[in-house]
Structures are given as structure tokens and as C-alpha cells.
Amino acid sequence: MPKHLSIENDGIDLLNNIQAYVINNTTANQAVQRGSKTICLPFDQQSYSKLVLDPIAYRHHIEEQYAAHPELFPSAMEHGFELHDIRPASTKLGIQQRRIKLKANEEVYSICPAYVMPYMAGFTKDVKDALLLLNFGVPYWVLTEIFGHNDMYWYRLSVSIGRSSIVGTTVKDPKKLPQDVVADEKHTSLHGDKAYITTTASESCVLGASVCEGTDAESFTKGYGVFAEEAQNLNPEYQPSTVNVDGWSATGIAWTTLFPKVALVLCFLHAFIKIRERCKKLGSVFTQISSYVWNAYHAHNQQIFSQQIRRLREWATAKLDSGIARDKVLALCKKAPSFAKAYDHPNAYRTSNMVDRLMRWQDRFLFNRQYFHRSLAAAELAIRAWAIMHNFRLYSPRAVGKRTDGKCPAERLRIQDFLTCAFPCNVLELQDNFCLVDVYQKQFSSLFE
């Protein structure tokens, strides 16, 4: 690890334990990709203005960062680099940047300090409080009243987070990509027309969120393909073992197209909900049905599960009158082979409860903004930004250590290599699907407290 850098601001060590890491930037909509070539590295804000004017010290700093974190740089960096030039000070913040040229391919990259937001929109220490409020649904005009600027400034600042890779931001180590995921679609609207958000989740983290305008297999393949591409950019050989789906055929086709070896595990809860919706007025009969269904669900192995399903089928055939209730119970029994696949994968999700809980947060986000009214690309950026901010949303301090193991979903996922949580503040994309995110590692509360 590099030496910790720090700068004091009202008693808060804002740059303590700064680390920057690589994420691969891929989105379904090419309009989201900017194609810039910028490498973002930690610098001491107080000494940066002098360091950038000293070529020897500046080069030494880059070499130190490359030795500590080679993943921050393009692969061609191993063949060496040279200082290319120094850019004029930015009009917005008065910050100068140097550029380096790689010897291997002569490509030129700008070096941006980590304490600066994308496009020189401001300093990270100046927006941390606003991001906390924005993360809990505070409207842009309130941020303007409290922190100044204007509504469009805060909107652009928030959606800029969506330009990063959701998978790359949340999962740093390719070896820790989840092998078992849950997938579902959220109904929403775009310009008043129906739209759908293909959502992929694991361990209470949103790993994929993309807006689709159709419900066919081709549209869903494109939507879930965003998650697939980002995950395979992190690990080209990535193949999830299982995915829990609700039974919609287009969803299954999309996942088997993207991951031919994945096992589709049908959501048991969805099958029971269909029974409950039609049988809950049957009183004691519904109680018996529920008992049979959940006894089967809690079976310890596939053999007992199959026996319980057979008993349920026999009971329903003998005791239930012909009608919708009986049809739904027999439909659940018919799907038993799809439910039983979970026994071959002990860590597979058997229900969609987790993604359903995440979609409740998604509901709040969509309602607060009254859904999507701009372009598809703007909607894509907005939902991606929501996903990343959700993954790093702080739990209540009262819950930490009692009902949850981490300070936020990303930390709970146990995917970070450091003890405290991280949050991407500055997302700068590169032309060759190479993207850097500044991560403030001291505590998640250094940005959101």
C-alpha cells in the first residue's frame, strides 16, 4: 500500500487511506461512453501545486503509484513512460495537469488528482455532504438551497457516477465475482411508455441495472448483457453458476444466451405468491396448502423435496375441487424439476427476496424523480448511478454489528481488500474500456456522514 496522504478540513481527514483502482467501463448504450484517456491518482492537495511543476518529483510519484498499484495503469505502462507536457490551469478550479506518453504505443494519458471531481466540477470534500443527502432522495433544489450552485449542477454531478462500471466499482477482485446471482425486471416508464429495468443482484448489492424498452428476449439480452460485459471485463472467463429467475421465458433465454453454462433456478416464492393471490380467501384450505408448500421448500435434500412435492400433488388432486386454486398448486408441482436444481448448488438463491428488497429502494428512487422523461441514455445513466450509490449507502449506525456485518452493502459483500468501506467519487473513463475510480477508504462516512 502507498503511504497515506492526508489533508485536514474541519477536523476530517478527507484523504486518509486514499486508494484508486481500475474498473472496466462498459455500457449497453454507446452514448454513455465518453472515450477520454485519463488516469486518476491520489495526490496531497496541499503540495500538489508545487509537485506538478517539479518534473523529477512528479515522475517519482507516478513511479511509486505504479509500483504500489499497477492495476491503475494501462498494461503498456510496463514498458515505460515519459512526461509529455503540462496543461494550462483549468478555468474552474485553477488546477494544472500533466500528461504522460507510453513508450510502447505512444498513447498520451492525462493524470488527474483524486481529490477533484470529473470534468473539474469541484473538489470531493465540497460535495460529500450533498451526496449524502442525494443518496437518501433529497431533491436537487434542496441541495441548491443548502450548498449553492444550481439544480442542473447537482443533476450532472449525480449522473456522472453512472458512467462507471457497476461491477468494477463494487467488485475489485475478479476472484470475488459472485457465482450465484438473482435477476428480475422492474417495470417503469420512459416518456410515458412502458420500460423495464433489468436488475442483477447478489449479496444485497446491485451488480447490474439497465433500461430496456421491450420485454422480448433480444431486449433483455441487451439489458443483462451490460452486467455480463462488465463482469467479463473484470474476469474474461467469468460464468455464474446459478441465476434465480421468476420464470419469464425471455429472462431465461437472455441468461442462457449470455452464459451458456449457467443453471436457471426458478424462484419458489413467485410460484407460492400465485397460489396465495387466488387461494387466500379459502381459509383453512389455504393454510393446508401453505403448510404443504413450505414443508417442501424446507426439505433438506432433493429426494425429500421430491417426496413432499408428490404428496402435495396427491393431496391437491384428491382434496381440492377443480378450479384456479387446484390449477395453481399443480402448476407449482409441475415446476419441481426447476426448483430442485438449487440442491445441486448449495449457495444458489432459491427465492428472489433479495432483489425484491432492492427493488423497493428502486421504487422510491423512480417515484421521487417521477420516472424517466428524457432520453434512453439519460435514463441509463440515472439508474446506473442509483445502483452504485445504493451499494455504498450507509446502514444506520444502530444496525451495524447487530443486524448487519458491514457499514454498507458493498462492505457486507466482503469484496474489498481493506477493512473499511469505499466509495467512487471521481469516475474518469479511458478510450480502451479502461476506467479509474477514486476511492475514499477511511470510512464510508468520510463522504456520507
Query: Distance between CA 149 and CA 160 in Å, rounded?
Result: 16
Does residue 300 share a domain with residue 202? no
Domain-located, residue 119: yes
Q: What angle, rounded to 10 degrees, do the helices at 284-297 and 268-279 form?
A: 170
Alpha-carbon torsion angle 135, 141, 142, 148, nearest 10? 100
Does residue 304 share a domain with residue 225? no
Q: List per-residue pLDDT tens for the chain, 449 residues long.
A: 333 333 333 333 322 332 333 333 333 333 334 345 888 888 999 999 999 999 999 999 999 999 987 877 888 899 999 999 999 999 889 999 999 999 998 899 999 998 888 788 889 889 888 988 888 889 999 999 999 999 999 999 999 889 888 998 888 778 889 999 999 999 999 988 999 999 999 988 999 999 999 999 999 999 999 999 999 988 889 999 999 998 889 999 999 999 999 999 999 998 999 888 888 778 888 888 999 999 999 999 999 999 999 999 999 999 888 888 889 999 999 999 999 999 999 899 999 999 999 999 999 999 988 899 989 999 999 999 999 999 988 888 777 766 666 778 877 775 443 333 333 333 333 222 233 333 333 223 333 33
Query: Distance between CA 148 and CA 138 in Å, rounded?
Result: 14
Q: CA neighbours within 13 Å on the CB side: how many for 428? A: 27
Domain final residue, candidates 344, 375, 406: 344
Please report the pLDDT score of residue 255 as a whole number.
Answer: 96
Does residue 15 share a domain with residue 106? yes
DSSP letters for 282-302 = GTHHHHHHHHHHHHHHT-SSH
Report the candidate in 28, 20, 104, 40 with the shortest Cα–Cα distance to residue 429. Answer: 40
Give me the CATH number covering residue 263: 3.30.420.10
As given in the structure block, the three cell numbers for residue 214 are: 421491450
Residue type, 448: F
Report the candidate in 269, 257, 260 with the shortest Cα–Cα distance to residue 297. Answer: 269
Does residue 320 share a domain with residue 357? no
Domain-located, residue 400: no
Does residue 290 share a domain with residue 226? no
DSSP state of 94: -
Bridge partners (DSSP) listed for residue 23: 435
Does residue 220 share a domain with residue 145? no
How many structural domains is the chain composed of? 3
DSSP state of 3: P
Place of cell 478527507: 14
Query: Distance between CA 412 and CA 391 in Å, rounded?
Result: 10
Q: In terms of residue numbers, what domain contains 31? A: 8-164+416-446
Place of cell 408448500: 293
Buried-exposed string 274-311: b where 16+ CB fall within 10 A, e elsewhere: bbeebbeeeeeebebbeebbeebbebeebeebbebbee
DSSP letters for 381-437 = HHHHHHHHHHHTPPPPTTTBTTTBSSSSHHHHTT--SSSS---EEEEEE-TTS-EEE
Domain final residue, candidates 331, 361, 391: 361
> Under 8 Å CB-to-CB from 143, ≥6 apart: which residues?
130, 133, 134, 149, 151, 154
Bridge partners (DSSP) listed for residue 182: 201, 244
Please report the pLDDT score of residue 170 as a whole number.
Answer: 85
Helix (H) or strand (E) holding 264: strand 263-266
Q: What angle, rounded to 10 degrees, do the helices at 249-258 and 217-234 form?
A: 40
DSSP state of 90: P
Does residue 124 share a domain with residue 19? yes
Query: Distance between CA 81 and CA 100 in Å, rounded?
Result: 7
Place of cell 449506525: 397
Domain-located, residue 188: yes
Report the candidate in 362, 372, 430, 378 with the shortest Cα–Cα distance to residue 26. Answer: 430
Domain-located, residue 389: no
Does residue 159 share a domain with residue 27? yes
Domain final residue, candidates 293, 315, 344: 344
Report the candidate in 389, 327, 354 with the shortest Cα–Cα distance to residue 160. Answer: 389
The pTM is what? 0.78
> Under 8 Å CB-to-CB from 49, ≥6 apart: which residues?
96
Does residue 147 share a domain with residue 189? no
8 A C-beta contact, residue 287 and residue 308: no
Domain-located, residue 407: no
Q: CA neighbours within 13 Å on the CB side: how many for 440? A: 27
Domain-located, residue 71: yes
Report the candidate in 162, 170, 247, 246 with the shortest Cα–Cα distance to residue 202. Answer: 170
Does residue 420 share a domain with residue 301? no
Terminal CA-CA length for the chain? 26
Does residue 120 share a domain with residue 247? no
8 A C-beta contact, residue 294 and residue 237: no
Domain-located, residue 180: yes
Domain-located, residue 136: yes
Query: Distance between CA 72 and CA 430 in Å, rounded?
Result: 12
Alpha-carbon torsion angle 54, 56, 61, 63, nearest 10? 150
Strands 12-13 and 18-23: unpaired
Query: Distance between CA 394 and CA 410 in Å, rounded?
Result: 10
Does residue 275 share a domain with residue 257? no
